[in-house]
Structure 1
């Protein structure tokens, strides 16, 4: 089967027509957020579609109403868009959406039975059938600073990653820390043989807590399915020492004139390097003008919560992910590789944390990498890179020997140019808006 090196991030033409979305006029935004692939070669991409309401005109008119859609598109192995699930906005007949457009930090996961899971901060999880035709389950967690309202619901996880044996590596949020609202604070895993299904959540065993500022917590802040020991995570019942303390000790720096250590640090979605080894990106507090040079670590944790080190070889200033806020790390658990892309380079490590390849974006032909962001690794051993402006997803086949990665990236970038030309002839995009007229659209 012919596989295009690049996938267009398509918007259903019917949706654009219904709401009068003119690519040439602007005033709206279609943004791909995350992608995940199946062992059979299908690719799922989640995107958001947003438009503010017009100050004048008719608010009830679909061409003038505000938009806050979320879409998941399934692509066949050859790159053809097959189906799109749309939620957050009304159906064409005016029926309200069954899924409220709450949440942030969109991430996808394909569960072992083929179900597609969409996880959102602070802990919202929606389950879709593999063909995207049905919403088969939902675990809501209303977002807000009104804690009584936000504690309601039945949350599961803010992010989900599936390990090779089917375990779920998750992050969950907590209320009652020193910040208002929900804070992404717990790394947890499910046990082998347990499954996430409609109406049934597996128990998540906490292996790391980022912070322990829990003086304000009460029993109302705990989630029964997130446990440490024999009880739900709450107040002092949590992994200790915290990930903040462990990384501060590992770096040997808590505060300096040029960096502020891990005070008020945050984390992003962990990735699985194997069934029992995970990489967790942690970065210090972001400031307006002094971010570059701030502390960050890509921590290596095992499934017992032991810190096994971190991905080594990055300079705090020269390789800083704070430029452009590029904190994503992805991993290939089948081959034991981890990857990171920021404005200064593409980096690759082996599972023991050794840096095996650094591809500088200051060197041709790799300067084009500055335009891409890293999304995910695929079961086929590819890295998925998204071109931020052109909305094209580039698949980079990764050789087993990471020393050969620069040549593979160069070849992929060359293939991207020819693939983009072919796609432009097929779709005739305006301002890099790729409208799909063939795939089915399911409104949920």
Structure 2
């Protein structure tokens, strides 16, 4: 068990005269991944809003919104931070626009992929000092799109064989405005993503097949089903919404999978994936609404679901905790929401459930589950204290309960030691050692 501070460059705080004890600023943790050699990359967002700051030329008064990727070495020390989303005062415009929903992936060659909805991907060098390639996709209505859009994926996960498991978006779906995540696709083993290299993604599942509003312009050459790009009726069928409705007996139900959404697919192996699918979100309570962590193989066959969850007593709609992470090297999956931490084997059997109603696991409600590392550790971020907790997962999932309890007990001790080292204010951890690279 280790705890890392999720840091912000001191130079960025200094240039904007950001006082952590004052209000008007916010810090969030979006995602974290680890490389096979032990480096950890953490994606965060830092912003400030002041009602009186509009038009000010003084960086100390300006509003700002940055995203940051910080690399930590195997010793837990921050070594480099990439800053993007807007220009740092006195610098060049950022090559990467800020996105509030973004994920990371470490590719087999060590490059770091930053992906965001609806389908933008940017490649950073392992040292976070260069943007190697960009494939942008704008938000908005199709008719307002910049014709220069060249998307890749809204999210990427990497399998042990180097396959890219991706979620991609499309326009003209049902009654959705703009682009909407709708396709699960995979690349072939060993294919590379890099400057001038954009691999073909083979569609294996579609969330929604209602595409009457699509045109020929709503397809992309790199996302294919059969011999042609995905578009209109050329896509996997039945849809995940239809298949899950049949599996759960909710076809035609108001609380079924019509107008459902999906979040980032996770790899349970090279040929088996978890696709989180959630029923329509309503303004009133969604407790009891349908959701499924669908098991889909690389031929697009629905193999079932991660089992053992109750629609109300284990609902991820409380707190909107929709993330599932997986360990493809050991074929197991994990989910954390306000009711507990859950672990499954690749056959979908629930192997462990740690309820947040039980005293040893109550602190879990303060954490978000971000990822599982190649070494088999869970990465959890404290929502307010901005610390990253690494929890080693035992080989036998029956022993996970003890490992999580021990990690939560040790968290306070590690936090105390880090507070002495960094002296954070309002849980903002300032660091001056890492190299800062505006991108």
Aligned match of 1:86: 83
In 1, the alpha carbon distance for the partners of 2:91 and 2:39 equals: 32
Greater shift, 359-368 or 281-290, is seen at 281-290
Q: Which aligned pairs between 1:109-120 and structure 2 lie closer than 5 A?
A: 109-120=105-116
Aligned match of 1:338: 333
Report the alpha carbon displacement of residue 55 of structure 1 after superposing the two structures with TM: 2.1
Q: Do 2:242 and 2:251's aligned partners in 1 also have CA atoms closer than 8 Å?
A: no
TM-score of the aligned structures, taking structure 1 as reference length? 0.96
In 2, the alpha carbon distance for the partners of 1:131 and 1:122 equals: 26
Q: Secondary structure at the match of 2:101?
A: strand
Q: Secondary structure at the match of 2:321?
A: coil
Unpaired segments ≥5 residues, structure 2: none
Aligned match of 2:30: 33
Q: 1:240 aligns with which of 237, 241, 244?
A: 237
Report the alpha carbon displacement of residue 60 of structure 1 after superposing the two structures with TM: 1.2
Is 1:290 matched up with 2:285? yes
TM-score of the aligned structures, taking structure 2 as reference length? 0.97
Aligned match of 1:303: 298
Note the alpha carbon deviations across 1:197-217, whole angstroms, 9 max, x for none: 112210000000000111111
Is 1:250 matched up with 2:247? yes
Q: Secondary structure at the match of 1:365?
A: helix
Change in Cα spacing, 1:151 to 1:289, as seen in structure 2 (3 Å) is: farther
Is 1:224 matched up with 2:218? no
Q: Do 1:44 and 1:74's aligned partners in 2 also have CA atoms closer than 8 Å?
A: yes
Which runs of at least 4 in structure 1 moved beyond 4 Å after TM superposition? none
Greater shift, 15-24 or 57-66, is seen at 57-66
Report the alpha carbon displacement of residue 255 of structure 1 after superposing the two structures with TM: 5.1
Report the alpha carbon displacement of residue 56 of structure 1 after superposing the two structures with TM: 4.7
Q: Secondary structure at the match of 1:346?
A: strand
Aligned match of 2:125: 129
Report the alpha carbon displacement of residue 153 of structure 1 after superposing the two structures with TM: 1.1
In 1, the alpha carbon distance for the partners of 2:323 and 2:5 equals: 22
In 2, the alpha carbon distance for the partners of 1:56 and 1:344 equals: 41
In 2, the alpha carbon distance for the partners of 1:19 and 1:164 equals: 42
Aligned match of 1:21: 18
Report the alpha carbon displacement of residue 193 of structure 1 after superposing the two structures with TM: 2.4
Aligned match of 1:404: 399
In 2, the alpha carbon distance for the partners of 1:111 and 1:401 equals: 28
Is 1:418 matched up with 2:418? no
Note the alpha carbon deviations across 1:379-407, whole angstroms, 9 max, x for none: 11100111100001110100011111110
In 2, the alpha carbon distance for the partners of 1:124 and 1:72 equals: 16
Q: Do 1:54 and 1:64's aligned partners in 2 also have CA atoms closer than 8 Å?
A: no
Change in Cα spacing, 1:121 to 1:150, as seen in structure 2 (3 Å) is: farther
Q: Secondary structure at the match of 1:417?
A: helix
Aligned match of 1:147: 143
In 2, the alpha carbon distance for the partners of 1:402 and 1:204 equals: 33
Is 1:202 matched up with 2:184? no
Q: Do 1:222 and 1:232's aligned partners in 2 also have CA atoms closer than 8 Å?
A: yes
Is 1:179 matched up with 2:176? yes
Aligned match of 2:318: 323
Change in Cα spacing, 1:425 to 1:214, as seen in structure 2 (3 Å) is: same
Aligned match of 1:365: 360
Q: 1:211 aligns with which of 208, 224, 232?
A: 208
Is 1:279 matched up with 2:269? no
Q: Do 1:53 and 1:67's aligned partners in 2 also have CA atoms closer than 8 Å?
A: no
Aligned match of 2:345: 350
In 2, the alpha carbon distance for the partners of 1:97 and 1:319 equals: 41
Note the alpha carbon deviations across 1:22-48, whole angstroms, 9 max, x for none: 110020112110000011111000111
Q: Do 2:54 and 2:63's aligned partners in 1 also have CA atoms closer than 8 Å?
A: no
Note the alpha carbon deviations across 1:151-202, whole angstroms, 9 max, x for none: 6411100000000000000000001112111100000000112110112210
Q: Do 1:151 and 1:220's aligned partners in 2 also have CA atoms closer than 8 Å?
A: no
Calculate the aligned-residue CA RMSD, in Å.
1.3
Report the alpha carbon displacement of residue 100 of structure 1 after superposing the two structures with TM: 2.4
